[in-house]
Structure 1
Amino acid sequence: MIEAQIKSVQCMSPAGLHKMAYKEWGDPRNRNLLVCVHGVTRVSDDFDRLAAALSDAYRVICPDVAGRGRSDQLAMPQLYHLPQYVGDMVTLLARADAEHVHWVGTSMGGLIGMVLASLPDSPVARLVLNDVGPALNPQALARIGTYIGEDIRFDSLDDGVRYIREISTSFGPHGDGEWRKLAADALRQGKDGRWMKHYDLRIADAFRTLTEEGARQAETMLWRAYDAIRCPTLLLRGADSDLLAPETAHAMTLRGPKARLVEFAGIGHAPTLMHDDQVAVVTDFLLG
């Protein structure tokens, strides 16, 4: 197995140019491409376990969405929205010279994949949506919005681990080493030695400014996108998820690409794809 390399691609927004970093696993000459995209406050390193498991079959690319991880922040916070993210991914796929791609997206990463897969002549040939759909529970969005923009600093990584465990209990049971990785990936150490969140806190603005009317319009747009998807689709759901309601997940099995639904007991939002049973479900779908 070839170890992951850190690379970047230059993307454009209405405010100018920005760098999007990504981790690349496997043989760069492999024409079988898998793209894995993280959730709203997470990073590319979330997919280390899945990418390592699939790097013999695929060239695996895991980007840090703009404003997160190793990628540049956007000059204007109002640009942190799906159209910009989808445009950045099209640039990434052009850099990868990808004609066809398999896609795994957790939460926000799933929404990006959903929109991209819905476009005419989309390169997405197989799609995995991890605990996300066109209709999102407003109470869950409010829960996420309460902590996204908080500028919290930690004197030690151990303090940061305790914080990540507290706000991420919905990830389900994980070992101490797994929690430490989840925290170390999502935090960064500042020049003063303290640990802080590894993303632009201004991504919280979208949650603060979301109105009821705006939420309704977004849901209508996302259902329209979902119904336009034609590729085989797998929908993963934490059985205790407060973001993806059971009735939404069921509706997704009946319309659009008629996704195959797999639920994981004892987990909320969202399955981390770090455990063997979750990795096996994704692998069987992608390679089956």
Structure 2
Amino acid sequence: MTFNHEPAAQPQLRHVECPGASKSNDQTHRMAYWSWGDESDPRVLICVHGLSRQGRDFDALARMMSPHYHVVCPDVAGRGESDWLANPQNYQIFSYVSDMVTLMQHLRAARGATEPLSIDWVGTSMGGLIGLGFSSLPAEVSGARLRRFVLNDVGPRLRHEALVRIGDYLGQPMRFKDEQEAAAYLRSISPGFGPHTDEVWMALSRPLLRAAPDGEGLVLHYDPAIAEPFKTMSAESAASGEAMLWQVYDALTCDVLLLRGKDSDLLDEDTARMMTERGPRARLVQFEGVGHAPTLVSSDQLNVVSEFLRA
């Protein structure tokens, strides 16, 4: 791999080969990631997106932070430029954590590093849960130690009503005649993202689209099968995982910034407050007029994250 030593206005698309989800499954898949800034920079920022999104969601943040970090924004398996998984049941947090471990090994090898990397992590919704899972691994296994952690509108307790809302649209077979129709649909299912200009919304929407296989119109740029394991989640299963997530959260030793949309239906106020009082005692910042989840493109949101990471 040839290092890029200059911060760029646009990212480089890279790939890493990831093993199967279990030892009995030797089928590999490629995970794409968007690389910003100097790829030899020892300061590494990992930005991981939400359930049906992709790594280009972080363009604004990555562009701001790339003079100070090597910024790495993966497309989680099944999304964007990454491969789709042969077995939809592997669209699970533990599989994504495994892929992130492989990514860390890849980044370490590119640097010739023998010690675990020191990284910062920004995780939106699902990306925050992946970060929590990653943090539970010993640095000798994961290949990295978390220095600062931004949890974007997610915590150990997830409100079931929000999961049902997301499940209603996830994986639906949608087809659009053009980008404008697709952007309008994405806006209709994402009111929690808050207000955006048409130009900004199109920039957030365009990477989520690809040409339909038959060439007629556009479809969403993710594997519809990511919905299969998600739709089996019940209120009981969500509650059963809560105790484990609190245990992982309480064990965090890094600095934590918790972002919340004031109108979030996924992360309730009580959970956010508890996260400021236990474990790493996160610093909480809430944004008016936003639900689930802040998109990290407006200047107020970007400045909060930048100041925390660079403190």
| TM-score, length of structure 1 as denominator length | 0.97
* Aligned match of 2:70: 59
* Aligned match of 2:135: 117
Question: Is the CA contact 1:115–1:226 (under 8 Å) kept in the aligned structure 2?
Answer: no
* Aligned match of 1:200: 223
Report 1:1-80 matches (<5 A): 1-2=7-8, 3-13=10-20, 14=22, 15=25, 16-80=27-91
Cα distance in structure 2, aligned partners of 1:120 and 1:228:
12
What SS does structure 1 have at the residue aligned with 2:155?
coil
* Aligned match of 1:274: 297
Identity %: 50
Question: Which moves more between the two structures, 243-252 or 93-102?
Answer: 93-102
Question: Is the CA contact 2:11–2:34 (under 8 Å) kept in the aligned structure 1?
Answer: yes
Aligned equivalent of 1:81, options 72, 82, 92: 92
Cα distance in structure 2, aligned partners of 1:58 and 1:231:
18
* Aligned match of 1:102: 120
What SS does structure 2 have at the residue aligned with 1:229?
coil
* Aligned match of 2:184: 162
Deviation, structure 1 residue 211: 2.8
Report 1:165-176 matches (<5 A): 165-176=187-198
Deviation, structure 1 residue 120: 3.1
5+ residue gaps, structure 2, are: 1-6, 109-115
* Aligned match of 1:236: 259
Cα distance in structure 2, aligned partners of 1:140 and 1:216:
14
AA matched with 2:75: D
Cα distance in structure 1, aligned partners of 2:262 and 2:239:
25
Question: Is the CA contact 1:103–1:127 (under 8 Å) kept in the aligned structure 2?
Answer: yes
Deviation, structure 1 residue 99: 1.3
CA RMSD between the two structures: 1.1
AA matched with 2:254: C
Cα distance in structure 2, aligned partners of 1:212 and 1:279:
33
Question: Is the CA contact 2:157–2:239 (under 8 Å) kept in the aligned structure 1?
Answer: no
AA matched with 2:17: Q
Aligned equivalent of 2:199, options 167, 177, 190: 177
2:164 is the alignment partner of 1:153: no
Deviation, structure 1 residue 226: 0.7
Aligned equivalent of 1:143, options 153, 160, 165: 165
Cα distance in structure 1, aligned partners of 2:199 and 2:76:
25
Cα distance in structure 2, aligned partners of 1:120 and 1:251:
25
Cα distance in structure 2, aligned partners of 1:260 and 1:211:
30
AA matched with 2:12: Q
Question: Is the CA contact 1:130–1:271 (under 8 Å) kept in the aligned structure 2?
Answer: yes
What SS does structure 2 have at the residue aligned with 1:42?
coil
Cα distance in structure 1, aligned partners of 2:71 and 2:230:
31
AA matched with 1:281: V
What SS does structure 1 have at the residue aligned with 2:182?
helix
